[in-house]
Amino acid sequence: MDTPETTARYRVSNRRAAQLMLWTLAWAASLAAARFGPERWWDAQASPAASWVAIGVNVLVGVAWVVAFARFLRALDDLWRKIMQDALAVTLGAGWVAGFAWAAADAAGLVTGEVNLALFPVLLGAVYVAAVAVGWIRFR
C-alpha cells in the first residue's frame, strides 16, 4: 500500500502533467491564431496591430508553457527527471548540430533546394521521443 506521501507526490505529478497539457494546447492555439489569423480572421495590412497582439500573446503563452514544463520536471520522480533531462540534452545537441551544419552547407552553396522550416521542429520532436524511449529502455 502506498504511503500518504507517495500518493501526494503522484497527485502533484499528475496535476503538473495536466497543467502542462493545457498550456501546450493553449500555446498551439495561440500559434495557430498568430500564423493563420492574418489570412483568415483579420487583414494584416489594414490592422497590423492585431498581428502584433497575436504574436505577443503567443510569446507570453509560450513563456507560461516553458514555466509549466519546468514545474512538470520538478514534480517527476528522480528517474523520470533524469530520463527527460537526458532526452532534452540530446535534443538540444541534435538541434544545434543539425542547425549549424545546415547553415554551413547553405553558406558553402551546397544547398540547392528550398527546405520547409517546419521540418526542423518535427526533427527535434522525433529526436526527443526517441531519446525518451531509449532512456526508458535503458533504465527499466
pLDDT for position 124: 92
DSSP 107-120: HTT---S---TTHH
What residues contact 90, with CB distance under 8 A and at least 6 apart? 127, 128, 131
Per-residue HEC secondary structure of 20-61 comes to HHHHHHHHHHHHHHHHHHHHHCCCCCCCHHHHHHHHHHHHHH
Judge if pTM exceeds 0.85: no
Does residue 140 or residue 116 have the better pLDDT? 140
- pLDDT tens digit sequence for 66-99: 999 999 998 988 899 999 999 999 999 999 999 8
